[in-house]
């Protein structure tokens, strides 16, 4: 029995990056031998075991054969005869197909170290094209390592294009797709993930609503970058630079989908795109079964982001309606994330990345003013039920009018 550290742990150590998760491969062992040493079996598809003390995953060396559609369409074979090289060749990228023994002696049959040094994301073998999930994985690695200068090898991008055109991407489950998408959006350069998906034709299959934004112009006065797709990438880039949470990044990706529906004769204006985009945002949310908080914020940002930009001009009644829509009294964090998404939208414009966004503090102030209106005095006046709600609304409106006047003076 020989045990090797494989995959990301080896890759990241060679890159000088922190190693968080460690995967192990065991060569020359049987399931019975693993159990005899106290390893606990997990997973029904292939033999993976948890170490009795560390809880880390140890997998028996295995080969795989395509037997159906999608990510799960594989038959696995594990036996003591499977070599380390045979196990490594089934992996996605050469930089993930290296192994180390306990003396840090490197096994690198597919030149992963060379590709690390050349900053290339390259597939290991033609079997890469059998697994549609790898399209998303490679795009995610491109987003993770873009800052180090990594790019996708042309021949790998071509295989990804073949996969995108094959219909295999449609076989991915919502859960698997969302897992990759959500991880990619939290990488250092999530806009690279979307760009790589577009380069290989996968964006058109997975998120045609986002793909449709590219080539759609916007008024140059507000959007020096002009192209709606480029703007979306820039907003996503800003959300990562400002370390926004997943909810905000998801909303940033989907906020302008309505612009893809604007008839060409109306370009570059996009009247009411906030409302026309809602059905598209809802469709994308449902396609990937995004978490509830991501779905809700994306829809609210899509509908109200122009309100955010025009915050200082809004009438007190409109401002109150905006605050009510977000339920700022019980869910203050959601409104804070809306403000963040609006600011990222404002900064995601060519040459305007550093400009100030006074609307943010103004909106926060308005929310504080509305929340500070006390209920008790109204109860003491005898208001209750629907009448109490109306009285509370009147008092909040009065407070917001005073807030607006003070801000304008």
3-state secondary structure 67-100: CCCCCCCEEEEECCCCCHHHHHCCCCEHHHCCEE
Q: Rounded to 5 degrees, what angle do the CA atoms 10, 79, 87 make?
A: 30
Give CA–CA dist 394/240, Å, rounded.
40
- pLDDT of residue 332 exceeding 70, the answer is yes
The two tokens of residue 406 are 């003070």
Q: Report pLDDT digits (tens) over 160-208.
A: 999 999 999 999 999 999 999 999 999 999 999 999 999 999 999 999 9
- pLDDT at residue 45, rounded to an integer: 64
Tell me which H or E stretch contains 351: none
Tell me which H or E stretch contains 58: strand 57-60
- pLDDT of residue 334 exceeding 80, the answer is yes
The radius of gyration of the chain from alpha carbons, rounded to an integer in Å, stands at 26
- pLDDT of residue 135 exceeding 60, the answer is yes
- pLDDT at residue 44, rounded to an integer: 65
- pLDDT at residue 141, rounded to an integer: 97
Give CA–CA dist 6/23, Å, rounded.
6
Whether residue 88 contacts residue 99, with contact meaning beta carbons closer than 8 Å, is answered with yes
Residue from 68, 109, 105 nearest 90 by CA: 109
**Across residues 310-318, what is the average pLDDT?**
97
- pLDDT of residue 315 exceeding 90, the answer is yes
For residue 137, count CB atoms less than 10 angstroms from its CB and return exposed for 0-12, middle for 13-18, buried for 19 or more: middle
The two tokens of residue 216 are 């759609």
Q: Report pLDDT digits (tens) over 255-268.
A: 999 999 999 999 99
Query: H-type helices in 167-245, by residue range?
Result: 174-185, 190-199, 202-206, 208-211, 228-241
182: left (phi over 0), alpha (psi -120 to 50) or beta: alpha
The two tokens of residue 351 are 């040459």
φ and ψ of 126, to 5 deg: -60, -20
Q: Report pLDDT digits (tens) over 64-111.
A: 765 455 455 456 678 889 999 999 998 999 999 999 999 999 999 999
Give CA–CA dist 154/121, Å, rounded.
9
Domain 1-110 sits in which CATH superfamily?
Beta Polymerase, domain 2 (3.30.460.10)
Residue length, the chain?
409
Residue from 123, 125, 202, 209 nearest 169 by CA: 202
Tell me which H or E stretch contains 60: strand 57-60
């Amino acid at each position: 029995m020989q045990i090797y550290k494989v995959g990301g742990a080896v890759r990241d150590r060679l890159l000088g990056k922190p190693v968080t998760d460690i995967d192990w491969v065991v060569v020359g062992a049987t399931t019975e031998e693993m159990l005899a040493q106290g390893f606990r079996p997990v997973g029904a598809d292939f033999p993976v075991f948890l170490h009795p003390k560390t809880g880390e995953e140890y997998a028996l060396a295995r080969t795989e054969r395509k037997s159906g559609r999608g990510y799960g369409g594989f038959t696995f074979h594990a036996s003591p005869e499977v070599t380390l090289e045979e196990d490594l060749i089934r992996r996605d990228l050469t930089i993930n197909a290296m192994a180390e023994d306990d003396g840090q002696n490197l096994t690198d049959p597919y030149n992963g170290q060379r590709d690390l040094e050349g900053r290339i994301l390259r597939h290991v073998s033609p079997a890469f094209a059998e697994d549609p999930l790898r399209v998303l994985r490679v795009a995610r690695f491109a987003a993770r390592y873009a800052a180090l200068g990594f790019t996708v090898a042309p021949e790998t991008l071509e295989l990804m294009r073949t996969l995108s055109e094959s219909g295999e991407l449609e076989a991915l489950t919502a859960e698997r797709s969302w897992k990759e998408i959500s991880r990619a959006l939290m990488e250092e350069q999530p806009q690279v993930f979307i760009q790589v998906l577009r380069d290989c034709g996968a964006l058109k299959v997975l998120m045609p609503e986002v793909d449709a934004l590219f080539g759609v112009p916007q008024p140059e006065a507000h959007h020096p970058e002009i192209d709606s797709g480029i703007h979306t990438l820039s907003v996503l880039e800003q959300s990562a630079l400002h370390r926004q949470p997943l909810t905000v990044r998801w909303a940033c990706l989907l906020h302008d989908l309505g612009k893809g529906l604007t008839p060409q004769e109306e370009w570059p204006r996009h009247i009411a795109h906030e409302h026309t985009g809602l059905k598209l945002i809802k469709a994308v949310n449902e396609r990937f079964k995004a978490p509830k908080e991501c779905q809700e914020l994306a829809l609210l940002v899509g509908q109200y982001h122009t309100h955010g930009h025009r915050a200082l001009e809004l009438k007190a009644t409109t401002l109150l309606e905006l605050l009510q829509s977000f339920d700022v009294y019980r869910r203050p964090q959601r409104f804070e994330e809306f403000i963040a998404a609006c600011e990222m939208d404002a900064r995601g414009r060519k040459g305007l990345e550093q400009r100030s966004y006074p609307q943010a503090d103004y909106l926060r102030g308005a929310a504080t003013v509305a929340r500070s209106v006390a209920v008790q005095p109204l109860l003491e006046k005898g208001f209750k039920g629907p009448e109490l709600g109306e009285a509370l609304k009147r008092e909040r409106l009065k407070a917001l009018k005073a807030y607006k006047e003070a801000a304008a003076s």
